[in-house]
């Protein structure tokens, strides 16, 4: 099925380069799944030394390499060196999340008067699409291009009733890199009957470079949001909006994450063991991507700006990383070793009519454009 919509813009602004030099795409085998299925990898490389490696399992952004202020390259994503480990050790690193990113209370919701029970994989709730969400599927590579832009498009068919969700869904993710360092991620989906869809990328960043011993809690974060959606002890939104003013959640001006992450006086920090909250962006739902977050590592100078068309962004500080996961380079990942900034519809929106609707119909396809813009501060 042909997906609707044009590829959106995701820029990673770094070093200037000659327009005569083409961006390249290299396709290769990258190991196998447990059933013998071959995992494929596409490495997109631009003339400014930015490169992105995408694997077919989970339509996953496995690595993103960029220079610091000294010109030294580093992979700024947490994850695994071996593609097969994304199946063997599922941890959401860099994956495409769907059908529904974040949590649905009890895995239940009503749609057109009918109750649906979807996969429960998080203390009785549904998280990131359930036990076999989009992140745990082998996606089809449908297109690879290179030239002024290098890109890969991956597709997945999700059957009617998959994980309990209604409607047959044709989902598509496109990553594009050009010689200016512009990396584009766009999500599109169509359905043959009403359903709910909320897709995002779950990259976890350490701008100092994966495995840097200082972790990421010294990064400075800005989020243009005057409110969060507070949660219960089960991390389900209460349905309210809580002003961030005067709290550990006020990132309207830059502050380091370690300033508030251990504030045990705030029950929201206690419930999540740190930050694991949706920020209601001041911009709301927009036709074109607008700024949702800015993250800066003062030591390396790397800066990440996240833009999105969606109304919310989830800040997650790796609170459930407890040293039992061995990632790239043999690093033991712990809380605070990386930061996720996940643009999205609000968690539990199918049960919260006051939130922006996540409903998708046959005549109204789903699309989401999110932007990671990397730069270097002097």
Rounded CA-CA distance 291/309 in Å is: 9
Cβ partners under 8 Å of residue 52, min gap 6: 43, 44, 61, 63, 64, 65, 175, 177, 183
pLDDT at 5 over 70: no
Q: For residue 178, what pLDDT band results from cuts at 50, 70 and 90?
A: confident
Task: Give the helix/strand (H/E) hosting 155.
Answer: strand 149-158
Rounded CA-CA distance 241/356 in Å is: 13
Rounded CA-CA distance 77/55 in Å is: 14
The stretch 131-146 carries a mean pLDDT of 98
Rounded CA-CA distance 33/255 in Å is: 42
| C-alpha separations of 307 from 8, 143, 280 in Å | 11, 25, 14
Lowest mean pLDDT among 8-22, 35-49, 277-291: 8-22
Q: Are 113 and 371 in contact (CB under 8 A)?
A: no
Rounded CA-CA distance 163/49 in Å is: 40
pLDDT digits (tens, 9 = 90+) for 70-103: 999 999 999 999 999 999 999 999 999 999 999 9
| 35 exposure class (CB count in 10 Å sphere: 0-12, 13-18, 19+) | exposed
Rounded CA-CA distance 29/55 in Å is: 9
Cβ partners under 8 Å of residue 351, min gap 6: 104, 105, 108, 109, 110
The residue written with tokens 């994304």 in the block is: 86
Domains in the chain, please, with CATH?
A: 24-376 (2.70.98.10)
Mean pLDDT of the residues in the chain = 93
* Nearest-5° Cα angle at 188, 187 to 192: 145
| Residues β-bridged to residue 375 | 303
Q: Extract the tokens encoding 187.
A: 């999500």
Between these two residues, 91 and 46, which has the higher pLDDT value? Answer: 91
CA 202 to chain centre: 3
pLDDT digits (tens, 9 = 90+) for 233-245: 999 999 999 999 9
pLDDT digits (tens, 9 = 90+) for 278-298: 999 999 999 999 999 999 999
Rounded CA-CA distance 68/282 in Å is: 31
Catalytic residue among 128, 202, 219, 277: 202
The stretch 208-228 carries a mean pLDDT of 96
pLDDT at 9 over 60: no
Q: According to the model, what pLDDT value does residue 21 have? A: 58
Beta 302-308 vs 366-376: how paired, if at all?
antiparallel
Please indicate whether residue 202 is annotated as part of the active site. yes
pTM summary value: 0.93
Q: What percentage of the chain reaches a pLDDT higher than 90?
A: 87
Q: Extract the tokens encoding 303.
A: 């800066």
pLDDT at 170 over 90: yes
Between these two residues, 24 and 181, which has the higher pLDDT value? Answer: 24
Between these two residues, 15 and 154, which has the higher pLDDT value? Answer: 154
Q: Extract the tokens encoding 229.
A: 């959606």
pLDDT at 3 over 70: no
The residue written with tokens 């006020």 in the block is: 250
3-state helix, strand, coil in the chain (%, to 5): 5, 45, 50
Cβ partners under 8 Å of residue 34, min gap 6: 84, 87, 88
Q: For residue 6, what pLDDT band results from cuts at 50, 70 and 90?
A: very low
Q: Are 132 and 156 in contact (CB under 8 A)?
A: no
What are the φ/ψ torsions at residue 377 (nearest 5 degrees)? -80, 145
pLDDT at 257 over 50: yes
């Amino acid at each position: 099925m042909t997906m609707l919509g044009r590829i959106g813009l995701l820029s990673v602004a770094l070093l200037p380069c000659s327009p005569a030099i083409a961006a390249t795409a290299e396709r290769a085998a990258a190991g196998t799944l447990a059933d013998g299925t071959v995992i494929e990898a596409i490495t997109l490389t631009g003339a400014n030394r930015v490169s992105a490696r995408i694997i077919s399992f989970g339509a996953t952004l496995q690595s993103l390499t960029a220079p610091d202020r000294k010109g030294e390259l580093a992979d700024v994503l947490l994850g695994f060196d071996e593609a097969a480990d994304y199946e063997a050790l599922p941890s959401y690193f860099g994956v495409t999340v769907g059908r529904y990113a974040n949590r649905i209370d009890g895995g239940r919701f009503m749609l057109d008067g009918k109750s649906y029970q979807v996969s429960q994989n998080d203390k009785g709730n549904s998280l990131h699409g359930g036990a076999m969400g989009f992140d745990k599927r082998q996606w089809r590579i449908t297109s690879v291009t290179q030239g002024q832009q290098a890109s890969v498009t991956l597709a997945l068919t999700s059957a009617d009733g998959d994980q309990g969700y209604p409607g047959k869904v044709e989902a598509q993710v496109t990553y594009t890199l050009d010689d200016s360092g512009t990396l584009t991620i766009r999500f599109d989906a169509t359905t043959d009957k009403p359903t709910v869809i909320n897709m995002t990328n779950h990259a976890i960043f350490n701008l100092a470079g994966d495995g840097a011993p200082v972790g990421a809690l010294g990064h400075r974060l800005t989020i243009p949001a005057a409110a969060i959606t507070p949660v219960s002890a089960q991390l389900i939104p209460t349905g309210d909006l809580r002003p961030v003013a005067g709290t550990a959640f006020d990132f309207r001006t830059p502050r380091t994450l370690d300033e508030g992450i251990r504030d045990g006086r705030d029950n929201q920090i206690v419930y999540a063991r740190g930050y694991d909250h949706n920020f209601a962006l001041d911009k709301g739902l927009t036709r074109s991507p607008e700024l949702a977050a800015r993250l800066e590592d003062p030591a390396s100078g790397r800066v990440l700006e996240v833009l999105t068309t969606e109304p919310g962004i989830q800040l997650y500080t790796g609170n459930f990383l407890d040293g039992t996961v061995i990632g790239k380079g043999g690093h033991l990942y712990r809380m605070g070793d990386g930061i996720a900034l996940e643009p999205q519809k609000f968690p539990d929106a199918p049960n919260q009519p006051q939130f922006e609707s996540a409903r998708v119909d046959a005549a109204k396809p789903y699309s989401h454009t999110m932007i990671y813009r990397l730069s270097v501060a002097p």
